[in-house]
Each structure stands twice: as structure tokens, then as C-alpha cells.
Amino acid sequence: MSNYFVTTSIPYVNADPHIGFAMELLYADVLARRARQLGDDVIFSTGADEHGGKVAEKAAEAGLAPKAFADQISERFRDLCQLLNVSSNRFIRTTDPGHEQRAALIWKSLKKDIYKGKYIGWYCTGDEAFVTETEAKANHGICPNHNRPYEKIEEDNYFFKLSKYNQKILEAIESKEFNIVPETRRNEVISLLKSGLEDISVSRHKDKIGWGIPVPGDAEQNMYVWFEALMNYITVLGYPEHQDFKNFWPADVQIIGKDIIRFHCGVWPAMLMSLGLPLPKQLYVHGFITVEGKKMSKSLGNVLHPADVVKPYGIDACRYYFLRHVPSYEDGDFSWDRLAAAYNNELANELGNAVQRTVSMVERYQAGKTGELPPADHDTSAYEEALASCRFDKAIEDIWEQVRGLNQYIDEEKPWAIAKEGDADHLREVLAYQCSSLINIAELLEPFLPDTAAKIKAVFKGDEVQPIEGTLFPKHEVKNDTVVAN
RNA sequence: CGCGGGGUGGAGCAGCGGCAGCUCGCGUGGCUCAUAACCACGAGGUCGCAGGUUCGAGUCCUGCCCCCGCAACCA
């Protein structure tokens, strides 16, 4: 028995949760549940990133104070875990007093790598925003929105010596001490690191970004939101003094989307190194999800909320789709047709029916008695390997091989024919194998479909089958569930 | 010359040097324990285009075309 720590990224609370983040929660949940199943002590943290200009802006639009606005949205992220039966046991908000205090503490500890520098950039007073050097050049020094020249502005900021750790990070990644999966992401990061990291500005002027954690000892500056948000992965454990931190860091797996890879493969490791802490053991980078082939966007009105997906077929069906039919190592697509097909063919017909026919035969031929069950004989190494490398889709495929194998077995053995012949011993043997196989399937399924696994296990618990009321996955008529517009 | 991913039967994908494979859909047959479910067999692809390396290329190299993301300090 050991300790296991898995994290999701903490979503920015400028908008409601959508299925992209739901997927990330599911990935983490599978790992957490699997670890628990193997007897580990698990901390599974998620949370909300709540500071920064954009939240302040959205709050103002809603006529709320930033904190009140953040309260509202972060609550929706918290609810998401329940909606999806996600077993996270820590929810950290960057506005938690604990996080704020610890962030200040961390800043002080990082001080040796923080220096005051000048941020120089092109600024448009019309947009009240900086533009990049390239953009300024592309527009020939004139803001196209306001038709006035950009001003060159200098601003005092604190900088973090990211460049100092460039080489060490590269080494940690190449040696897999800090293991990034999938490989393509790892290669991407390596080439990024080889091209060199520059020091980054890690604070903002208070009058520019007022909603943030103050830089200790400088009333004029707030911490740059990203810098501070990354700290959540250790403040959630009570860094530096809490026992949880001592027991659970480094994280076993951190899960992020591909858009924030730079922060997690550059800034974050550098911060840890500066603090003298080990890097996470593994970073899993997932892709994005489209809806019916299109990128989700408000203007298209196709933003899909997790609740919409759960509604028609239930939580486990939703989990199943995201975990199996969205490729773990690539971008994926959500489609109602494919969800319906997966539900009917795989969950109802193959798995549900395998349970049903087994139960029915045990009842019919053996008055519900199962007798002694043989031990599981399925080779789980492919499954284990898939989970270790976060290939959730492959892991489920491996389970389904067993499901299909069971249906084939039943058709080959023909228990109904054996019953007719009256060979009771042989029949008992065959049916016992079926039950045992289903129990094993349930075991492997638990991290992915916890409710379904529990139901199957309940059926074969004693030496007498306990039929499920109704069916495991009732067949649905094809409904016209269109994407809910927003 | 910003970075990356991808183009394989109707759909979704695997294969990454040695007879082109899986799931769905479609067709035929079998079975009757089961949620009109299950099982078997079959049709369907010149593996984006053009060159090259090789005894042999979806698989390696070069060039081109087409999709899709990311980045440009918003987090």
C-alpha cells in the first residue's frame, strides 16, 4: 500500500464547465479509482483558478464583485464532479485563504530566482492592452482598431529566472524522471526546450490587474495569475508544513490539456526546482474535443455541457463514451449518433446481454445457484500497461475483448444444449466460468464505470445470483436528442 | 520560412519495411440462454498526390496538395 496523488488542471472560472474539462476529470477519476482498488491511499485534487483580469471583467459584466462571481462559477465546477460520479477528494480554489497565504510563502521561497525587470512593449491606449512585437510590426506600428500609433511603454515587473532551469528540465524530461505522455507531446516539449526558454514576467501592476494575490513586500504588484495558479498543486497538499505534502508529493500523475503544456513543462518544473522539490512523475496531456466535427464555440451555439450528455443515457454511458471513443492520445469528437451506437451495441448488447443471459441460465438450470467459481484467467497485462501510460481507450478495448470472448464462449459451449443432455457437472462448470468472467470484467471496469461494476458484482455476490431489477442498460429507442444550443 | 497533429474500404480508427487489419454500418447463414440480443461467414480499400531508396513501402527519404489544432503574454 502506498500513496497516490493525481491532479487535474484547475479550470479558469470565466465560463461554465463544458465537456472538455469533464473529460479531464474522468481521466483523473479512472486513475484515482484504480489506485484505490489496488489499495493505495489516494488524493485526487481538482479545483478552480479564480484570479486575473478576465474574471474581473466577466464579473463586472455580470454586475458582481470578482469574488462573488468566482463563488458562483466555481460552484458549478464542484457540482460537475458529482454529476459525473468523479471521486475527487480535494477541491482547491485559488481564492482560498490557505492558497493565498501559501502562495505568498512560496513567492518568498522563490525570491532568489525573482528579480525586478522592465517589461517593454507596444501599448494601445484605445485597447488598453499590450500587443506583441510581431503584431505591432505586422500592423506597421498602428493599431488597426483605433487607427493610432502604438506607444512604447515600460512597466516594472518581477521576472522569474526560467532560463536558469532550462537545461535541467530538459534533462529531467529526456531521462523520463519527468515523464510526459503521449510521446508526441514529449517531443514537442523537448524541441521547445532546445529552442530555449526566456525569463517570464510573473507580476502585474495593480491598476492593470487588480484581482490577484499581492506580491509580498510590494503593494504595487499582484502575482501573475498563471504563476500563482500553478502553485495549487502543492498548496492543496498544505505545502510546506503539512503531513499530506510530505506523504504525497511528488504527484504520480498530473493531467492537463494540450493548450497549457508550456506552463506545465516549463514554468512549473522550474518553480519546483527552485523550491528544491522533485518534479511530478508523469504528465499526461490530453487533446481537445469537438462536437459533431466542429469546434465548440458560443457563436456556433454548440457548446455542450456535461449535463446534456448525461441526461439521455446516464452517467456510466457518458463516462464510457468519453473514455473509450475519444482517443486518449489525440483530439476526439463527440457525436450523438456514435454515443447511441456505443450504448446500444457495446453496453446494452454485448455487456448487458452477457450478464442477462448468464443470470437467466443460472436461474433456469440451477435454480439460481452458482456453485464454486474458478479464479479469473484473463491476462491483464495489456490493461495494466494501457492504464500506466494513460491510454484509457486501449484499456477499455482490452476489457471488451473479454466481453466478446465471453459471448463467444457461451455460443461455443452451448449451455442450453448441455442442459438438455442433462450433464449437470459440465453445465455447472460452464456457467461458473461465465460468472467468474463477469466478476472479473466488473473488477476491470470499476475505474471506468463504477456504478455498472457495482451492479454486476452485486449480481454474483453470494452463491446465488441476485438478478438486477430491469436490465443493466435498457435499450433506447432512437431519440432525436439534438445538441442543446446555448 | 513560428510550432505541432492528421489524410487507410460508407463512418470511426489500428498497423509504421515483408501476403492490408479492427469496431460500427451493410449482406448471408447459424443458434435460441438472452435486452429483435449472441455467434460464424461475406462484399467493400490502386493506404492524399508525385518522385526516390529497397529484392520488397500505408510503413523510410524528398517535394507538393488538403484538413485541424496551438502560439503571438488572456488565463
One-character DSSP codes across A32-83? HHHHHHTT-EEEEEEEEB--SHHHHHHHHHTT--HHHHHHHHHHHHHHHHHH
Nucleotide in closest CA–C1' contact with A228: B75
| C-alpha span between A14 and A59 (Å, rounded) | 8
Task: Work out if A300's Cβ lies within 7 angstroms of strand B.
Answer: no
Protein-to-nucleotide distance from the CA of A259 to the C1' of B52, whole angstroms:
38
Task: Work out if A415's Cβ lies within 7 angstroms of strand B.
Answer: yes
Q: What would the pLDDT profile of A67-108 be if each residue is shown by its tens digit? A: 999 999 999 999 999 999 999 999 999 999 999 999 999 999
Taking the stretch 119-148 of protein chain A, residues with Cβ within 7 Å of any atom in nucleic acid chain B are 121, 129-135
Predicted complex ipTM: 0.87
| C-alpha span between A359 and A353 (Å, rounded) | 10
pTM (2 decimals)? Answer: 0.92
Nucleotide in closest CA–C1' contact with A347: B35
Q: Are A363 and A369 in contact (CB under 8 A)?
A: no
Protein-to-nucleotide distance from the CA of A364 to the C1' of B44, whole angstroms:
43
Taking the stretch 154-173 of protein chain A, residues with Cβ within 7 Å of any atom in nucleic acid chain B are none
| C-alpha span between A50 and A54 (Å, rounded) | 9
Taking the stretch 31-90 of protein chain A, residues with Cβ within 7 Å of any atom in nucleic acid chain B are 49, 51-54
Q: Are A74 and A59 in contact (CB under 8 A)?
A: no
Nucleotide in closest CA–C1' contact with A185: B4
Taking the stretch 336-365 of protein chain A, residues with Cβ within 7 Å of any atom in nucleic acid chain B are 341, 345-346, 348-353, 355-357, 360-361, 364
Taking the stretch 370-399 of protein chain A, residues with Cβ within 7 Å of any atom in nucleic acid chain B are none
Planar angle of CA A149, A207, A262, nearest 5 degrees: 80
Going residue by residue through chain A, which has 486 residues, state the pLDDT in tens, using 9 for 90 and above. 799 999 999 998 888 888 888 999 999 999 999 999 999 999 999 999 999 888 888 898 889 999 999 999 999 999 999 999 999 999 999 999 999 999 999 999 999 999 998 877 666 655 555 665 555 655 556 655 556 666 676 778 899 999 899 999 989 988 889 998 888 888 888 888 887 888 888 998 888 888 999 999 999 999 988 899 999 999 999 999 999 999 999 999 999 988 888 889 999 999 999 999 999 999 998 888 888 877 777 766 778 888 888 988 999 999 999 999 888 888 888 888 889 999 999 999 999 999 999 999 999 999 999 988 998 888 888 899 889 989 898 899 999 999 999 999 999 999 999 999 999 999 999 999 999 999 999 999 999 999 999 999 999 998 899 988 888 999 875 444 433 322
- Amino acid (one-letter) located at A437: S
Residue at grid coordinates 531521462: A175
Protein-to-nucleotide distance from the CA of A327 to the C1' of B42, whole angstroms:
30
Residue A184 dihedral angles phi and psi, to the nearest 5°: -60, -35
Residue at grid coordinates 508550456: A262
Cβ neighbourhood burial of A337 (10 Å; 0-12, 13-18, 19+): exposed
Q: Are A86 and A26 in contact (CB under 8 A)?
A: yes
Nucleotide in closest CA–C1' contact with A49: B75
Nucleotide in closest CA–C1' contact with A474: B35
Find and give the residue nearest to B68, measured CA to C1': A331
| C-alpha span between A107 and A104 (Å, rounded) | 5
Task: Work out if A255's Cβ lies within 7 angstroms of strand B.
Answer: no
Nucleotide in closest CA–C1' contact with A294: B68
